[in-house]
């Protein structure tokens, strides 16, 4: 990988890239006072709409406003088409891997993935073995995290197949930009994304063999970090938002309580993890799920999106094998590359990681949200040595990667405009066909020099434009 930062807006000689030129002219011509006013207005509107996330364990309170930057991340349509094809290819292969894993296990028998790495994986669910799903789909909604190397090459940083979040921020960022700066959209052909909720509903309905199934969104409740998104998507799709207490199983069917009596539910877009879905089958302490849900699911009387057991495919220890999955199931070369990855479970690779901790990023295979990781170049000697002991004690729980040269995009900061590192999460919907809306969620690391874009670690978001040719 190239050890330099790719500037999304400017060429190395400082001139503006063609797809940013219209925006650059607008930015230069717009008075600073107006920009400051619109930025304050955006913060106020986000606050009024309740567009927040929950930060657990913080003494200053849990509810936080997601920082929103008004300088968009722009992608030319010709470039986007490659990203789109690569994300669709990847999610198709991952769905085929899950169908294979829970049935014939051909990829294991072929020796391409060690059996113990999947069958002993925390995300693997024995209850799914041999269960046939409609269209063989496991991950109906997927998020693919992309970063850009110094030469402009896109790499997949990780796959999100369990309960991928962030699409509500993608949609709200676009609404905000169109409300505050309608002239920008009048002067350019920016691909629309407002049809995502209808695509999502169509995807969920097509996951069932029924003609017009009843769909609900299952949330852990208002104290969950992504509750705003759960409520937002249910409202946008025009379906019920329910908690576990609103549902019950009778005669091996799932019902929800309504003012008009019990109503059968056919598709559940669930936004809680496997362990909490059914206290009779998984965590008996859970009060968030529905007793008997697994039995109903196994009987084929309800569809869960995403399916139980998808977590095994987005575990970071499985990530290094996705390229092999694409070759094995699709007989194609991967369009998007993986970031080079060392698996600490392998003694030789662990030795390399231990010898180079100060230069690497080390992640928990089951980690998320920017937690439980070491960014070697930004860590103190004491932090590195403490992490070394954790690695030696449980090497199978970690992977390591080079410190990424995430691309930068101009961003409003306290002292004006400065480059900040970004990533991109497109959302892939798998139903009768595999579809993706143009763009995705761009996350930005607002702290100078930081490579961690997660909102829980101080990151913000930008609108993502696909500028049509």
> In 98-189, where do the E strands start and end?
141-148, 154-160
Cα-based torsion angle of the residue sequence 12, 379, 117, 149 in order, rounded to the nearest 10 degrees: 0
Give the model's confidence band at 456: pLDDT under 50 very low, under 70 low, under 90 confident, else very high.
low
With a cut of 80, say whether residue 457 has pLDDT above it: no
How much is the average pLDDT of 122-131?
A: 96
With a cut of 60, say whether residue 45 has pLDDT above it: yes
Measuring CA to CA, how many Å separate 116 from each of 128, 234, 327, 328, 399?
Answer: 17, 39, 21, 19, 16
Q: What is the pLDDT of residue 3?
A: 58
Q: What is the pLDDT of residue 291?
A: 98
**Average per-residue pLDDT in the chain?**
93
pTM of the model: 0.93
Residue 358, token pair as written in the block: 């100060």
Cα-based torsion angle of the residue sequence 428, 137, 226, 270 in order, rounded to the nearest 10 degrees: 150
- The per-residue pLDDT for range 383-393, each reduced to its tens digit, is 999 999 999 99
- The per-residue pLDDT for range 7-16, each reduced to its tens digit, is 999 999 999 9
> Which domains does the chain carry?
208-305 (3.40.50.11290), 340-402 (3.30.1490.270)
- The per-residue pLDDT for range 71-91, each reduced to its tens digit, is 999 999 999 999 999 999 999
Q: What is the pLDDT of residue 370?
A: 60
Burial class (CB in 10 A: 0-12, 13-18, 19+), 268: buried
Residue 80, token pair as written in the block: 């986007």
Percent of the chain with pLDDT over 70: 95
In this structure, what DSSP letter does residue 376 have?
G
Residue 6, token pair as written in the block: 């790719």
Give ∠ CA 218-219-223 in degrees, rounded to 5: 170
Q: What is the pLDDT of residue 47?
A: 83
Give the model's confidence band at 451: pLDDT under 50 very low, under 70 low, under 90 confident, else very high.
confident
- The per-residue pLDDT for range 136-146, each reduced to its tens digit, is 999 999 999 99
Q: 419, 384, 380: which is closest to 400 by C-alpha?
A: 384
Contact, 159 vs 97, CB < 8 A?
no
SS3 138: coil
Q: 228, 306, 250: which is closest to 50 by C-alpha?
A: 228
With a cut of 90, say whether residue 453 has pLDDT above it: no
Q: How many CA atoms lie within 13 A of 302 on its CB side?
A: 31
How much is the average pLDDT of 365-389?
A: 85
In this structure, what DSSP letter does residue 321 have?
G
Q: Which residues contact 388 (CB under 8 A, 6 or more apart)?
A: 354, 357
- The per-residue pLDDT for range 182-222, each reduced to its tens digit, is 999 998 999 999 999 999 999 999 999 999 999 999 999 99
Q: What is the pLDDT of residue 415?
A: 83
With a cut of 70, say whether residue 54 has pLDDT above it: no
Distance CA(202)–CA(103), nearest Å, equals 27
């Amino acid at each position: 990988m190239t050890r330099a930062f790719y500037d999304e807006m400017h060429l190395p000689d400082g001139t503006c890239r063609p797809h940013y030129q219209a925006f650059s002219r607008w930015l230069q011509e717009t008075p600073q006072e107006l920009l400051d006013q619109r930025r304050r207005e955006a913060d106020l509107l986000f606050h009024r709409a309740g567009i927040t996330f929950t930060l657990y364990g913080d003494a200053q309170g849990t509810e936080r406003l997601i920082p929103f930057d008004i300088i968009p991340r722009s992608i030319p349509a010709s470039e986007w088409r490659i990203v789109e094809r690569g994300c669709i290819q990847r999610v198709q292969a991952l769905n085929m891997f899950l169908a294979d894993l829970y049935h014939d296990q051909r990829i294991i028998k072929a020796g391409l993935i060690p059996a113990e790495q999947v069958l002993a994986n925390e995300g693997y669910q024995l209850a799914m073995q041999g269960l046939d799903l409609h269209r063989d789909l496991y991950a109906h909604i997927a998020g693919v995290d992309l970063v850009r190397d110094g030469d402009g090459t896109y790499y997949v940083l990780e796959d999100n197949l369990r309960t991928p979040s962030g699409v509500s921020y993608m949609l709200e960022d676009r609404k905000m930009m169109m409300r505050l700066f309608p002239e920008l959209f009048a002067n350019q052909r920016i691909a629309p994304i407002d049809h995502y909720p209808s695509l999502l509903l169509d995807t969920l309905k097509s996951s069932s063999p029924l003609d017009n199934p009843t769909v609900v969104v299952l949330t852990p409740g208002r104290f969950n970090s992504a509750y705003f998104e759960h409520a937002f998507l249910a409202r946008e799709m025009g379906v019920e938002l329910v908690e576990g207490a609103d549902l019950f199983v009778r005669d091996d069917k799932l019902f929800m309580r309504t003012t008009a009596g019990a109503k059968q539910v056919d598709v559940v877009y669930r936004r809680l993890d496997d362990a909490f879905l059914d206290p009779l089958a998984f965590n008996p302490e859970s009060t968030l799920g529905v007793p008997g849900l697994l039995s109903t699911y196994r009987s084929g009387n309800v569809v869960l999106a995403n399916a139980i057991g998808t977590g095994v495919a987005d575990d970071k220890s499985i990530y290094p094998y996705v390229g092999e999955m694409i070759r094995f199931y699709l007989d194609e070369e991967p369009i998007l590359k993986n970031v080079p990855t060392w698996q600490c479970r392998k003694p030789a690779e662990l030795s390399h990681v231990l010898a180079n901790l100060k230069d690497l990023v080390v992640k928990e295979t089951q980690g998320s949200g920017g937690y439980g990781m070491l960014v070697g170049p930004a860590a103190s000697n004491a932090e590195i040595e403490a992490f070394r002991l954790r690695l030696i004690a449980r090497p199978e729980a970690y992977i390591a990667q080079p410190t990424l040269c995430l691309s930068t995009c101009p961003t409003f900061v306290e002292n004006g405009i400065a480059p900040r590192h970004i990533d991109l999460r497109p959302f892939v919907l798998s139903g009768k066909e595999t579809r993706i809306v143009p763009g995705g969620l761009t996350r930005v690391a607002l702290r100078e020099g930081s490579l961690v874009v997660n909102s829980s670690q101080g990151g913000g978001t930008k609108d993502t434009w696909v500028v049509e040719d």
